[in-house]
Amino acid sequence: AQTVTQSQPEMSVQEAETVTLSCTYDTSESDYYLFWYKQPPSRQMILVIRQEAYKQQNATENRFSVNFQKAAKSFSLKISDSQLGDAAMYFCAYTASNSGYALNFGKGTSLLVTP
């Protein structure tokens, strides 16, 4: 079974600074997909960024980028120029065809952004 581990229950960053959230996963699949989702207090899960395992290039979406280390099974999220609106729970998720593309989530990291 695939597992997704987020070792940082809570993180804090100052506005305009950079923060990195960690995620590791375990899988025997060679073709899979990784995601970072944001869940603000409204509880609605919002896709932040996705990475295909077959792509060597790290995904980037504006201030959000990932560091995908396939051999190490590591998938960290870097948030640059942090904003107050970035405060939320962040979930790392994995999926692959052998699970019917159901999302397998980590336990989440609570990000606090201070002025």
Partner 1 sequence: KAGVTQTPRYLIKTRGQQVTLSCSPISGHRSVSWYQQTPGQGLQFLFEYFSETQRNKGNFPGRFSGRQFSNSRSEMNVSTLELGDSALYLCASSLVGGTVNTEAFFGQGTRLTVV
Site of interaction with partner 1 (CB under 8 A): 33, 42-47, 50, 52, 91, 95, 99-108
Q: Which is nearer to partner 1, 68 or 82 (CB)?
A: 68
CB of 42 to partner 1, least distance (A): 6
Q: Which is nearer to partner 1, 50 or 73 (CB)?
A: 50
| Separation CA 42–CA 47 (nearest Å) | 14
CB of 3 to partner 1, least distance (A): 11
CB of 24 to partner 1, least distance (A): 15
- Is the CB of residue 73 less than 8 Å from the CB of residue 92? no
CB of 95 to partner 1, least distance (A): 6
| Separation CA 43–CA 71 (nearest Å) | 33
Q: Which is nearer to partner 1, 71 or 102 (CB)?
A: 102
DSSP one-letter string for 98-114: GGTT--EE---EEEEEE
The tokens 């999926």 sit on which residue?
Answer: 95
| Separation CA 46–CA 40 (nearest Å) | 8
Q: Which is nearer to partner 1, 42 or 57 (CB)?
A: 42
